[in-house]
Amino acid sequence: MASPTNKRILIIEDEPDIVRGLKDALEFEGYRVLSSGKGAEGVQLARSDAPDCIVLDLMLPDGNGYDFCQQLRHQNALVPILMLTARSQESDKIRGLESGADDYVTKPFSVGELLARIRALFRRMSRLSEEAASERFRVGKVEVDAKTHTLLRRGQSLSLSFYEVELLKLLHERANQPVSRDEILDKIWGVDCNPTNRTVDNFIVKLRKKVEERPDKPKHILTVYGFGYKLVP
Ligand code: CA
């Protein structure tokens, strides 16, 4: 089993058998494990040790998991939290998720299932951080922020339209590769809008005015004759 990179998991659970079983399985997979049998102490540990994932029991001797979950979430908006509970009713699941948990496992559970859920949470986290990173990128001397639909050029902020942002994002995802007009139309405008190849060309003209130093001699948004366009960041 490949090591999941020293990721640290905090288990907040008061049943020693469950803690022991989980700890063994997680350590076997390469995770480092911290644990606490009390909610308040667990919240404290989460603050001091900043684990990468938290497994939180719902019924703890010093309070209920929903409250601790809210405190954990308040402390750290991003850390994945997986709740453990003996209950299986829908309303408990909803309450768990509303208190900030990312996922929910009902006791009795198999360790294999829990590990799979933890791996899925980590996958989701890394996808989210990749997505966040891909929302900001540079093209030549300008910086594009796709989330706020703005482009920063020589300290000046210009706004981008929805289609301009989508077009830049697509070209940037495929940087240095030609992207055909047909593909651009298909992915950005879809079939329903009934756009034409001229639509793409018009947006390219607008983008060049914002991105290029000299729009008539583009260095970043290049035409690939008879095919489409290519972004050279
Ligand atoms: Ca318990």
Over the stretch 68-84, which tens digit does the pLDDT of each residue have?
Answer: 999 999 998 889 999 99
Contact assessment for residue 202 and residue 177, using Cβ atoms and an 8 Å cutoff: no
* Same domain for 138 and 27: no
Task: Compute the distance from residue 152 Cα to the ligand 1 centre, in Å.
Answer: 52
Q: Report residue 97: phi and psi, to 5°.
A: -70, -35
3-class SS of residue 107: coil
CA of 66 to the centre of ligand 1 (A): 13
- How many angstroms separate the CA atoms of 232 and 171, rounded? 9
Predicted model pTM: 0.62
Q: Specify whether 82 is located in the same domain as 102.
A: yes
> What count of Cα atoms within 13 Å lies in the side-chain half-sphere of residue 157?
6
Residue 120 Cα to ligand 1 middle (Å): 24
CA of 228 to the centre of ligand 1 (A): 60
Q: Are residue 89 and residue 148 in the same domain, yes or no?
A: no
Q: Report how far ligand 1's centroid is from the alpha carbon of 18 (Å).
A: 9
Pick the last residue of a domain from 126, 152, 178.
126
Both 78 and 138 in a single domain? no
Domain-terminating residue out of 98, 126, 154: 126
Domain housing 204:
132-231
Instruction: Give the per-residue pLDDT at 95.
Output: 78
**19-44 CB burial, b ≥16 within 10 A, e <16:** beebbebbeebebebbbbbbbeebbe
Distance between CA atoms of 181 and 55, rounded to whole angstroms? 48
Domain limit, last residue, from 64, 91, 126: 126
Q: What distance in angstroms lies between residue 100's CA and the mean position of ligand 1's atoms? A: 19
Domain co-membership, 12 together with 122: yes
The predicted structure's pLDDT at residue 12: 98
- 19 CA from centroid of ligand 1 (Å): 10
CA of 111 from ligand 1 middle (Å) equals 16
> How far away, in angstroms, is 106 Cα from ligand 1 center?
12
* Tally of domains in the chain: 2
CA of 64 relative to ligand 1 center, distance in Å: 9
Together in a domain, 94 and 170: no
Report d(CA 84, CA 13) in Å as an integer.
8
b/e string for 4-15 if b means 16 or more Cβ within 10 A? beebebbbbbbe
**Which regions in the chain score pLDDT beneath 70?**
1-5, 87-89, 191-195
Q: How far is the CA of 36 from the centre of ligand 1 (A)?
A: 11
CATH code for position 45: 3.40.50.2300
Instruction: Say which CATH number the domain at 225 has.
Output: 1.10.10.10
**Can you give the pLDDT at residue 2?**
43
**What amino acid occupies position 220?**
H
